[in-house]
Amino acid sequence: MREEFGFARGNILIVMIMWAVTDFATFLPDSYYSLYVEALGASAFWIGTILSVASLAMAFLYLAGGYWADRAGRKALVVSMSFGRALIFLIFAAAPSWQFIILGEVLLGISSMSQPALMAVIYDSVPAEKRGFGFSLSMWVGVTSIFSPVVAGILYLQYGLISGMRIAYVIVAVSWLVSGLILLKLTETLKGEARFSIKEAVKQYPKAVRECVGVWKLVPRTMLNLLLVFTPATFFIRMCVPYYVLYANHVLAIEEFQWAILQTFYSLLFYCLMLPVGKLVDVFGRRKPLILSSACFALSMVLFLYGDFFKLYVFFALTAIGNALVFSAYPALQADLTPKESRGKVLGFTNFLDCLLGSAAVFLGGFLYGDVLPAMPFLLLLIVMVMTATATFLFVKQPENREN
């Protein structure tokens, strides 16, 4: 036990505690997010537009966040944005109409500039030989979110959709306030050469963009291949996410509380798989789990498109397997390939590209779901996942020597 879990102390332990607090709360409103925004007056098209605007704001702030994570260190960004999110989620709780959700989503996008710094802390703190298991363990503490869909379902049954969601968002705001206090205990992993400030962030933004783009000249070719292979997959995943619950409810006739039960099943299985899958990634490498994850996602989409309540159990089981594999193998391979002093910029650019394309993805998803065919986003995701498995096999290689 000491050999396997001995690294889980200091920063790793602090982030694990923080995620245990925030994951449970954050997943409460996620269960019925689309239905909540719909109830506030938005159509499927506007749900996609809201998430598109939020993703666009998030994309450009990731570049600044990645640059400052390497220039000013990790801790200041992570702590300040955690306190900021506590205030932002109160906007979601009090929103009188769907237009206020846009404001909340844009502000959340701004607060996301701390994400490259937070992930850099994890990359810096997990030993190279433990990365698969380490990333699995750091995510496993989100096991608290297993109960989120059921609690969300109870709030829905007890208070109705809108009042239940408002209560859920207040809980989220409190959780981020607590997490900010927890993160004050972080130890800085990279001594910065400058102090972060909003004024300097605006002034240095062009330089941040140049350095986040230029960093790809310094990383191995396989790192670029990894980005090019998985970015399209992320695009189509983001395109589908807001519409799963709508398709299940409106097309497959799955009731709201049944959906909560299915999500709970997914969470239970996902967290049971995380630790053994993480160990598998360390023993057998990163590439094969990545290929297998895409295959699981492709098969799961067939079951979702033509599913009923029982077929959706298999859909969620395959999705849990695929996510456990990719959430362990992808960051482990990314850390293996990226030097410590460049991790913030690599993570910043990767997240920038994902969110920039994701902005278009959710907009396109709303159009395809509402104006073309509800099944169309999921059909496209099925095709792309087959292509991703093939491209991973052909173009993604493991490094002989891993970065510290």
pLDDT in tens, 266-313: 988 988 898 888 888 888 888 899 999 999 999 999 999 988 888 999
Q: Are 208 and 66 in contact (CB under 8 A)?
A: yes
Q: With cut-offs at 50, 70 and 90, classify the pLDDT of residue 192.
A: low
Q: Determine, yes or no, domain membership for 401.
A: no
Which comes out higher in pLDDT, residue 69 or 390? 390
Share of the chain above pLDDT 70, in %: 93
Predicted confidence (pLDDT) at residue 388 exceeds the cutoff of 90: yes
Q: How confident is the model at residue 1 (pLDDT cuts 50, 70, 90)?
A: low
Structural domain count of the chain: 1
Residue range 340-377, pLDDT digits in tens? 777 778 878 887 888 778 777 877 888 898 888 999 99
Cα–Cα dist 46/51, whole Å? 9
Tell me, yes or no, whether 403 lies in a domain.
no
Domain that holds residue 327: 2-395
126/40 Cα distance (integer angstroms): 43
CA-to-CA distance for 156 and 247, rounded, in angstroms? 19
Share of the chain above pLDDT 90, in %: 24
| Helices (H), ranges, 196-286 | 198-203, 205-214, 221-240, 244-250, 256-284
- Where residue 5 falls among pLDDT bands split at 50, 70, 90? low
For residue 400, being part of any structural domain is answered with no
Look at residue 402 and tell me if it is in a domain. no
CB hemisphere CA count around 145 (13 angstroms): 25
Is residue 123 scored above 90 in pLDDT? no
Q: What is the pLDDT of residues 39-86, one digit of tens each?
A: 888 887 788 778 777 777 777 777 777 777 777 777 888 888 889 999
pLDDT: which is higher, 338 or 92: 92
What pLDDT, on the 0 to 100 scale, is given for residue 321?
A: 95
On whether residue 234 sits in a domain, the answer given is: yes
CATH number at residue 102: 1.20.1250.20
Does the pLDDT of residue 36 top 70, yes or no?
yes
Asked whether the predicted pLDDT for residue 199 surpasses 70, the reply is no
Give the model's pLDDT for residue 301: 94
d(CA 80, CA 321): 34
Highest mean pLDDT among 71-75, 200-204, 255-259: 255-259
* Average pLDDT of the chain to the nearest whole number: 84
How many residues would you count in the chain?
404
Nearest to 351 by CA among 75, 105, 61, 49: 61
End-to-end CA distance of the chain: 23
DSSP per-residue string spanning 168-200: HHHHHHHHHHHHHHHHTTPPPSS--SS---HHH
Q: Note whether residue 113 is domain-resident.
A: yes
Q: Are 214 and 45 in contact (CB under 8 A)?
A: no
Distance CA 247, CA 244 (A): 5
What's the confidence (pLDDT) of residue 404?
Answer: 60
